[in-house]
Amino acid sequence: MNILTLSGLVASQDLIIPVQAQYYAMEGLKQLLDTYILVKNHYNEEIKILGILLTMFEEGTALCQDVEEQLRDYFGGLVFKSIINRNIRLAEAPSAGESIFTYAPDSDGAPDYLSLAREILRDEAEIRSSEENFVNI
């Protein structure tokens, strides 16, 4: 972790943790979670993890299936249902200075990110709804 990562965490309210579907990425996840706890305990008690996002996923490979299973077993509902599949258009979009929605809206990568956005918005709506119900009790 460098100073930019630490500064970003200190200034954040919500955290989405992308994890490539590879075993070494799980080591990085442990380091990030350790840093998250440090930041939450000492600098920003309001920060919360929105979820863990599986990325660069290749359907049908044993490695990706194993990583997904381990993440879901250990972190449960903290792992987003949405998965970002490996897609060359997703890798090309940043070099063109565009989002996937303007660079290649018909690619396989665009629906993956749209699914994630919908999942986040749905979860936030459920949280707000349950908070409103709690206040009305």
CB 13 within 8 A of CB 47: yes
98 is in which domain, residue-wise?
A: 87-137
Domain count across the chain: 2
Q: Are residues 136 and 102 in the same domain?
A: yes
Q: Are residues 43 and 109 in the same domain?
A: no
In the block, tokens 């940043």 appear at 94
- DSSP letters for 45-107: TT-EEEEEEEEEE-TT-HHHHHHHHHHHHHHGGGEEEEEEE--HHHHHGGGGT--HHHH-TTS
Query: What percent of the chain is modeled with pLDDT above 70?
Result: 90
Q: Are residues 26 and 70 in the same domain?
A: yes
Segment 91-118, tens digit of pLDDT: 999 999 999 999 999 998 999 999 999 9
**What does pTM read for this prediction?**
0.85
Provide the 8-state DSSP code for 136.
T
